[in-house]
Chains A and B, each alone.
Chain A
Amino acid sequence: MTAVDPVSVEARLRDIQSITDVALSRLDDLDLLAELLDRTREVLQADTAAVLLLDFSSGQLIATAAAGLEEEVRQGVRIPVGHGFAGRIAAEHRPVVLDRVDHTTVMNPILWSKGIRSMAGVPMVASGRVIGVLHVGSLTPRRFTSGDVELLQLAGDRAAAAVQSMTAAADRAAVTALQRSLVPSALPAVAGAEMAARYIPGSGAVGGDWYDVFTLPTGHVCVTVGDVAGSGLAAAVIMGRMRSTLRAYALETTDPSEVVGRLDRKMQHFEPDALATVVYAVMEPGLHQMHVALAGHFPPVIARPGQPAELADIRPGALIGAAPRTRRPVTTVAVPPGALLCFYTDGLVERPGEVIDEGLDRLCRAVTAQSPEAACATVMGALVGSEPARDDIALLMIRRHAGRETDTDA
């Protein structure tokens, strides 16, 4: 550019302002995207504008918002990364301008059957990776200039920020809803036992800790506490699947090693990247003993009346997802009348720079054979206090009634 036309400079500034207008941020994200597409179309004097978002699991771009090209969204257009116009932009991570729109340059037939003659598109980048593509089209032949592409990139950046905040908010809402539906707010009533539990989400994203207690038709009581590695929606979804899988296998056999083994096989086949720890205990109908299998999880603490609490002596087993065909040993633990069992996740006992035994000792000192509700309160007070939890914490206490209580109940 040699001679700078002051009118065009002013017009360009106005265009930039139209796209970066702060008033836009007062709209919610979906409206912002629609408004942004309208403005983009207007400032670039284009006939169509569309946003395709990358679905990371399938590697496809999915039409999400459009102006002048609504059918793209309504028909659920999907373009594989690396193919066609939008796919090329996402794969090459850079703007593409097309002067000819036909089946050789564009994969999506809607674009050419609509009569679009020229197109320009830019990648939408958030946190260093492509999350989608923004493109505009013209029904009359024209050549999109480098200035047009710069403006389009500005709109693309803005759209990327809106989408990112939209996704984060949706993930948070979904994780909270999942947690609420999966972590039982009311524990089942079990004759001869009392229970109490706590679940505290970590300070980062909510993650994949859970606990579950249920009875079997045989009268056995199953107790499980687990922790899926990672956090956010992905971990919470896996947690949900593991929880229902355990319940399903629990109905088929009372052998904890068999239940955990089947869970592991299912996870390794269908969720090959997942890692999780689980403690799974099956209590006999009279609650006098429990059979436990550990999968990379810390053993429960047992407090017998009148004695200091200790880690139940349970043989360790490999975590879920670790190695194919792993069989975990079953350890049987006697549960005398009045004894309290404490199941928990690592977030309760781990502290930065501290060896694990210190955390486990602290837990054992805090647990006494009292009512589960009081025991939860004591443990949370002693181990968490007023610090915000770094990691998720799940805590579940079960106490077998003392002999005399059981007699009167019977």
Chain B
Amino acid sequence: MPDARFPVEMISGVPVVVTPEEVDITNAGGLRTALLEAAGNGPGRLVVDMTRTQFCDTAGLHALMLAHKRAVAESGDIRLVVTSAAVLRIFAITGLDDVIPHFATLEEALAATSGSAESS
């Protein structure tokens, strides 16, 4: 059953999982499940729209990393849309920004071709 806290939209055939204002140890398990389910729709691209997310802790990062690993193992890819300075900061400090491509807008995440991953 889809988790109401992590709605999934299909945009141009790409599942886009939208994350809430806070992603932390209390809902990271739900995010992990939502990402695996959305990725289960078939190999390919998955976008996580974190535009609304102002705060993300290490448990949230682990959920994103796990989804990234699964996607890569199945020759798919995962892109993030991140605008919050606090979220960008924890990405930088934990080295995650070199691993998962992230973009400033949903349009860029959807438009970027595979492999041209640009992290600012």
Contact = CB atoms under 8 A, between A and B. Distances in A.
Interface of A: 227, 229-230, 272-273, 275, 277, 294-299, 316-319, 321-323, 326, 328, 346, 350, 352-357, 390-391
8 contacts: A227-B58, A273-B66, A275-B65, A277-B58, A318-B99, A356-B57, A357-B89, A391-B59
B69 to A, nearest CB: 7
A294 B96 CA distance: 12
A1 to B, nearest CB: 36
B89 A355 contact: yes
Interface string B35-61: 000000000000000000001011101
B24 interface: yes
Given A319-B65, A353-B22, A356-B89, 8 more contacts: A272-B73, A296-B95, A296-B96, A319-B95, A322-B99, A323-B99, A356-B93, A391-B59
Contacts of A272: 69, 73
Nearest to A352: B24
Interface of B: 22, 24-26, 55, 57-59, 61-62, 65-66, 68-69, 72-73, 86, 89-90, 92-96, 98-99
A230 to B, nearest CB: 8
A322 B61 CA distance: 11
Contact of B86 (A295, A352, A355): A355
B55 A354 contact: yes
A318 B95 CA distance: 5
Contact of A391 (B25, B65, B95, B96): B25
B26 to A, nearest CB: 7
Contact of A321 (B22, B55, B59, B69): B69
B95 A317 contact: yes
Nearest to A360: B93
Nearest to B92: A316
A327 to B, nearest CB: 11
Contacts of A352: 22, 24-26
A321 B66 CA distance: 9
Given A277-B58, A323-B72, A346-B58, A356 B86 contact: yes
A357 to B, nearest CB: 7
A355 B55 contact: yes
Nearest to A359: B57
A301 B99 CA distance: 25
Contact of A277 (B24, B26, B55, B94): B94
Nearest to A230: B62
Contacts of A229: 59, 62, 65-66
A277 B57 CA distance: 13
Contacts of A298: 93-94
A229 B63 CA distance: 9
Shortest 5 CB-CB distances between A and B: which pairs?
A: A316-B95, A355-B86, A229-B62, A318-B95, A346-B58
A295 to B, nearest CB: 7
A272 B65 CA distance: 12
Nearest to B21: A353
